[in-house]
Copies of this chain bind each other. A is one copy, B any other.
């Protein structure tokens, strides 16, 4: 094969029988993968990894059929079935069927959205789709959108590879916007952070948010040069929501210590518990302090589609920037984040140019973005907005919250489990209570040793359930619950976002957990 004179050029042709043959085999692999509802194979991670140790790239090309056979056996089979109705543990879910054919189109187009010359129609299309999300969040009037949607000087939002880059971009805009040019000072973009702080007479630059904000904000604080210990963490209540009294005190402290506040972050859907910070109150504090207000709604943003639940995000429209992930509750494939900007000119503080592309004044989207070359991933969202409609998204949100209520009620009625808190949306924390500890737990009379026992047991339970591979929930550590502050508890974490999950799957998942717990109890010495 490889010795033929038209190799490898021939592989780049678009009209081949070979492509159709390979496509048919891929269809079979996909069907086998998706039809099996098992979440995980029984092969342990280290055992599996031991099969991936050859590091010399193949010299000669392999035949398509041989390659696909290896790929299915070694890789696909041992991928996690994130679409399974029994996979209730993370923010990755089943996707609408149209995303699969569309991904072939996205590959075939192979646009690079960084500039018009490699993504002509995708440029206005991406702007339009972002404007639809902007309108969902900020609900400005028609004339606002008419003015800005295709105005090359305006930026209603940026597409990113995910929520981390979206959060980082928002804070980059906030940092540069708040430390811009002034008098002799050319601005942080040009002179850097140290010079900016010196110019302002500030001792350091800080970021403020609840102790439960996503770790990507810590990461962003490192990347942007602030330093992770300059992330000021505000205390949360037993339902994981930021305490705004504490926020006011933290802001005061920053003022007193001459710390420059880059932004105050509110969370709409904490990763742990789906909790929603009091956005309206935080907006007020941010306005009074004159600082940028960022809302990390990577998870919770799409709640805005629901007439029933929209009100939970009240205040989000007062944010200066909002992160929403496409690959979470907008049900597009992995790799689509967005940051929306209230002020269409805010992104000017991070604008860059280059002679070969994104020239000054051009409509190239790469002028204002952290990333450079980017795929036309926006097409997935464009399609989903049209094929699900706002109505479809509303139902998905409502259903997820309804099923979470169902799980909460089941847990509340069973003595084997403890529901940690009433859920704000569709993420729920609970734990298993071995018989000997049930009464003490109910009475709030658990001591440090019993905490440790419970933590260990729930950790083992989650690991055993994950390894068994029939059903899946994740786990996390909550530091503040009704059992007390600064008392770390290991809890199970269910995410009810998969539209394929019905009540009977939830029941089966709990039954699986009870069986595994019973086995663990008989094989281990419990207190």
Contacts and interface: CB of A to CB of B under 8 A. Distances in A.
Given A7-B392, A124-B52, A128-B54, A500 B13 contact: yes
A90 B118 CA distance: 8
A410 interface: no
Central interface residue in A61, A224, A358, A493, by most chain B CB within 10 Å:
A61
Interface in A318-368: 325, 327, 331, 333-335, 350, 352-358, 363
Interface stretch (A250-258, A375-383, A416-424, A519-527): A375-383
B229 A191 contact: yes
A222 interface: yes
A163 interface: yes
A48 B165 contact: no
Contacts of A117: 80, 89-90, 466, 472, 474
Protomer copies? 2
A58 B498 CA distance: 23
A111 interface: yes
Contacts of A95: 12, 107, 110
Most buried by B among A51, A58, A172: A58
B58 A385 contact: yes
Interface in A14-46: 14-16, 18-19, 22-23, 25-27, 29-31, 33-35, 40-41, 45
A19 to B, nearest CB: 4
A218 to B, nearest CB: 6
A453 interface: no
Nearest to A58: B389
Interface in A60-86: 60-62, 64, 67, 70-71, 74-80, 82-83
The CB with the most chain B CB atoms within 10 A, among A123, A204, A216, A387, is that of A387
Interface in A85-122: 89-112, 116-122
Contacts of A61: 386-389, 391-392
A431 B460 CA distance: 68
A389 B45 contact: no
A192 interface: yes
Pairs A-B, 7 closest by C-beta atoms: A225-B225, A192-B227, A78-B121, A161-B161, A193-B225, A52-B124, A164-B372
Given A79-B122, A161-B371, 17 more contacts: A9-B500, A14-B34, A22-B97, A41-B120, A59-B389, A61-B388, A71-B383, A75-B125, A75-B382, A161-B374, A172-B222, A190-B228, A193-B193, A194-B205, A195-B227, A219-B370, A222-B352
